[in-house]
Structure 1
């Protein structure tokens, strides 16, 4: 019994030991497999990384290193025109390039040393451009001047002011205020003061511009000079004509005026604003009176009011046979109305007044004509001189530029930078053709602008001459 038990136990231990050994061997085998797998994976990854690195190195080897740009390969900087919308020719664009390294102060020795930095084997055009990079002249200001050149000539802009006494402006209104007080019935010359005043007014009307508008207002024409009629007379002011210049109609209206009462100058001035047409932009008022305000009004204050109505009328006072006191008052009224006072003792004096007015205007137009002709000639000459100087600067620069280019071209030839004389001749011809083109541009544009300035100056001169003469004759014969 003991013997069987021992045998069974031995067998069990053997089995157990075998199993344990098997497990141990299996685990060891599995570990070795895992390690082999990891080693394989690491080796593959390393191979992949090495391949990527090799490919990158190979790619980098295929990329050429960035070449340093030399000075003769650099792009030429250019000036931008002030007016970017202006259209430029190909040559003008070329001349807007900034000047070369030695353009402003040409140092021949330094320029020669610089040009010898050029290697052999460049194209003819490259040699030509390299030379220009060193000696290209500055043309941009002259080109800009031509691009912006205004050949128009304008003169005589300050024309004589005709809106004072006899303007030729269609919207100007002439208002005549006629004193119809009793004193205007006094004898004077071959008739009365009123007769001579009417005659002078009709003479004046004839010389007004055809498209003028006219109004005729009378004052003091009702009642009598008695105290009893003072209130009626002082309240009397009436517009008896408003319309276009029409001597016949005005004469008809004047015929109804009879000297009667007092002198309400202030009221007449206050109500004359009612006579101004809506389309009037200016107004000239002529007050014909033989005395002072006798109705208690304030003509100076009324003149100031009227002058501030917006169109700012000119109030001229014609004192017809007035005494010193009346003269003083009427002068103040005229001054308040931005006008002037004139003393008239007769119809001849009134006619003389209108004559002086026209003489003043004819003289003003004569002076305007002469000043305008001088101004037009001066501006014309200035433009022609500017065109001449601008073109000449381009022409002179082109000559100097070519002279310097020949020096550098010869230096390249002397140092045998060219492979043959054929290249030298080709480059010389390119530089010479450039000189010819630039010189011709300066010459032709100069002449073009000069001729336009001359022609425009003549046209403006003629315009001023004929306008001035026409105006001068107009007022001269009105005298």
Structure 2
């Protein structure tokens, strides 16, 4: 029996060695904060249907967040809606905690897009909520636009990297070709990923958005099981 157990353990290690997780280049269990764009552009639609972008984002998150929340502490920062002054319209909806899927999805499904895109300040606040100076942290920025409040996302990323214990910022650009708010992908906020060793991904529809969320929020080993 001992020989069987050793053989099984060796097979498991061989399997992990074939995954990116084995190289420890994906911090897939660190506390994470989702920074959600709910600015006015998320109310835009594409040329083929009248459903707003935010509806597709909500559906994509509903497919991924319940898979992530049981395995890692996950929180939510939202920018865009609300009665806050221009460029101060971002809010920590939930600090990272266990089994947060239901609370996060209730918040996500309640947002009504509006306002500016203070994504740089939102990422900064998300990092602070993660206590990024004291422990490993992951920020996943999901946006369909670029900074509109005069801040420099690249500069912030460099500053955060210099202060961080171990911070990774992933950027998912939801760029729906043919939409009323579509812009060709450009550097913009993607440099936040480049500065911190994160992923910079572009999604053109709900399915691609689900894939991008899984790449940035789940462990490679778990992703193979749940896809």
The TM-score range, normalised by the shorter chain, is: 0.7 to 0.9
> Aligned match of 2:89 in 224, 236, 249?
236
In 2, Cα distance between equivalents of 1:268 and 1:357: 18
Question: In the superposition, relative to structure 1, how do residues 360 and 212 fare at CA in structure 2: closer, same or farther (>3 Å)?
Answer: closer
Q: By how many angstroms is 1:190 displaced? A: 6.2
Partner of 1:304: 158
* 1:359–1:476 Cα contact (<8 Å) kept: no
Q: Residue 4 of structure 2 corresponds to which residue in structure 1?
A: none
TM-score by length of 1: 0.38
Q: Please give the alpha-carbon distance, in whole angstroms, between the structure 1 residues aligned to 2:154 and 2:132.
A: 25
Query: Which structure 2 residue ranges, 5 or more long, are not aligned?
Result: 1-9, 176-181
State the TM-score, normalizing by the size of structure 2: 0.76
1:268 aligned residue = 122
| Cα separation, 2, equivalents of 1:275 and 1:361 | 26
Q: Distance in 2 between matches of 1:359 and 1:309?
A: 25
Return the offset for 1:344: 1.0
**Which consecutive residues of structure 1, in runs of 5 or more, have no partner in the other structure?**
1-153, 224-230, 363-473
SS at match of 1:287: strand
Aligned to 1:478: 226
- DSSP-derived class of the 1:233 partner: coil
2:22 aligned with 1:160: yes
Contact 1:219 1:265 in 2 (8 A): yes
Distance in 2 between residues matched to 1:351 and 1:278, nearest whole Å: 26
Normalized per residue, the structure richer in helix is: 1
Q: Does the alignment pair 1:178 with 2:36?
A: yes
Distance 1:248 1:267, change over 3 A: same
Paired position in structure 2 for 1:41: none
Task: Say whether 1:344 aligns with 2:92.
Answer: no
How has the CA–CA distance of structure 1 residues 240 and 354 changed in structure 2, closer, same or farther, with 3 Å as cutoff?
closer
The equivalent residue for 1:220 is: 80
Aligned to 2:51: 191
Give yes or no for contact 1:355–1:478 (8 Å, CA) kept in 2: no
| Contact 2:161–2:196 (Cα < 8 Å) also in 1 | yes
Match of 1:403 in 2: none
The 5 Å alignment of 1:84-123 reads none
Q: Deviations over 1:66-114 (max 9, x none)?
A: xxxxxxxxxxxxxxxxxxxxxxxxxxxxxxxxxxxxxxxxxxxxxxxxx
C-alpha distance in 2, partners of 1:215/1:163? 22
Partner residue, 2:113: 259
Tell me the residue number matched to 1:329. Answer: 188
RMSD of aligned residue pairs (Cα, Å) = 3.0
Alpha-carbon deviation of 1:348? 1.4
Deviation for aligned residue 1:220: 2.4
Q: Deviations over 1:202-246 (max 9, x none)?
A: 3222222624111100112235xxxxxxx9120121101122232
SS of the residue 1:197 aligns to: helix
Higher relative contact order (CA 8 A, sep 6+): 2
Mapped partners of 2:189, 2:148: distance in 1: 13
How big is each residue's C-alpha offset from its partner over 1:93-148, in whole Å with a ceiling of 9 and x where there is no partner? xxxxxxxxxxxxxxxxxxxxxxxxxxxxxxxxxxxxxxxxxxxxxxxxxxxxxxxx
Give the C-alpha shift of residue 331 in structure 1: 2.3
| 3-state SS, counterpart of residue 284 of structure 1 | strand
CA contact (8 A) 2:75 2:100 kept: no
Q: Which has the higher strand share?
A: 2
Q: Distance in 1 between the 2:50 and 2:134 partners?
A: 38
Task: Work out the CA distance in 2 between the residues paired with 1:208 and 1:273.
Answer: 19
Partner secondary structure for residue 216 of structure 1? strand
